[in-house]
Amino acid sequence: MQVTAKTSTATSLVKMEKIYKHFGGVVALQDVDFDLNYNEIVGLVGDNGAGKSTLIKILSGALTPDDGKIYFEGNEVEISNPKIAKELGIETVYQDLALVENLDVASNLFLGREFKKGVLGKLFGVIDKKRTYSEAEKVMRNLKIHIDSVKTIVQNLSGGQRQAVAIGKTVYLSPKVIIMDEPTAAIGVKERKVILDLILSLKEKGISVIFISHNIPEVFSVADRIVVLNRGLKVGDEKASNLTVDDVVKLLVGS
């Protein structure tokens, strides 16, 4: 991971400056600045093709920008792959959730970082099930996620419960930033409130959140600030309290 001593704005946890990204002759992002402060929820909105996905993929290391700079905690960084993003403390919950349907909740939470049982664990990879279930219950309790049992198979969970498990899996890694890509898109109204409350609780735990959504009222319900992209350009960046839904819609359609 390349980190230089050059610093940016002290209050910014993430600062992206003059980001450009092209795909052939298509300009996905042009001269885009994006900031995320400590202990802040930023709503990132824009229609399909606005550049939202490209921007978060650059921040999460899935894409590299053609031009521009990224600062993290005041240091210039080069996030050339997802591993570097994770090392910095940037985690992403994508729409596909990356959960294994035929495993239980606890196994999904610790997939790839299983608790091994003593000598047998070291020699043969035997998993400490007791600790796995105990730690999983702590995660669920800490985030106030209501699931009957951490032994429940994921395919038997509702859409909202699956989303909550994916968030819990991420929070266990103690990230500084969580990028949430349309977390309420495929769930019912009642479960949406649960996820929105969970997003607010992340801020209370000192985690900054980038919340991507097409549902503008939902963005207003959690975001401290709203950033609007339109055809690869940043056309709005303002405190949510200074905006209305109509203001954002006008920026989205370019009027």
Of 181, 185, 187, nearest to 159 (Cα)? 187
pTM equals: 0.89
| Helix (H/G/I), strand (E/B), else coil: 179 | strand
- Predicted confidence at residue 15, as pLDDT, reads 98
Same domain flag for 75 and 185 = yes
| Higher-pLDDT residue of 225, 187 | 225
**How many domains are contained in the chain?**
2
Mean pLDDT of 154-172: 93
- Predicted confidence at residue 121, as pLDDT, reads 62
Domain span at 13: 1-89+175-255
- Which of residues 153, 174, 195 is at a domain's end? 174
Here the CATH number for the domain that contains residue 249 is 3.40.50.300
Predicted confidence (pLDDT) per residue in 117-132, tens digit: 776 666 666 788 999 9
Residue 161 reports pLDDT greater than 80: yes
Contact (CB, 8 A) for 54 and 28: yes
- Predicted confidence at residue 255, as pLDDT, reads 59
- Which of residues 174, 198, 231 is at a domain's end? 174
Identify the band that residue 18 occupies on the pLDDT scale cut at 50, 70 and 90.
very high
Is 17 within a domain? yes
Same domain flag for 55 and 162 = no
Is 94 within a domain? no
- Predicted confidence at residue 153, as pLDDT, reads 97
- Which of residues 158, 174, 190 is at a domain's end? 174
Same domain flag for 179 and 253 = yes
Same domain flag for 1 and 79 = yes
Question: How much of the chain is in helix, strand and coil states, percent to nearest 5?
Answer: 35, 30, 35
Mean pLDDT of 5-11: 47
Predicted confidence (pLDDT) per residue in 187-197, tens digit: 888 889 999 99
Same domain flag for 245 and 196 = yes
Mean pLDDT of 237-242: 98
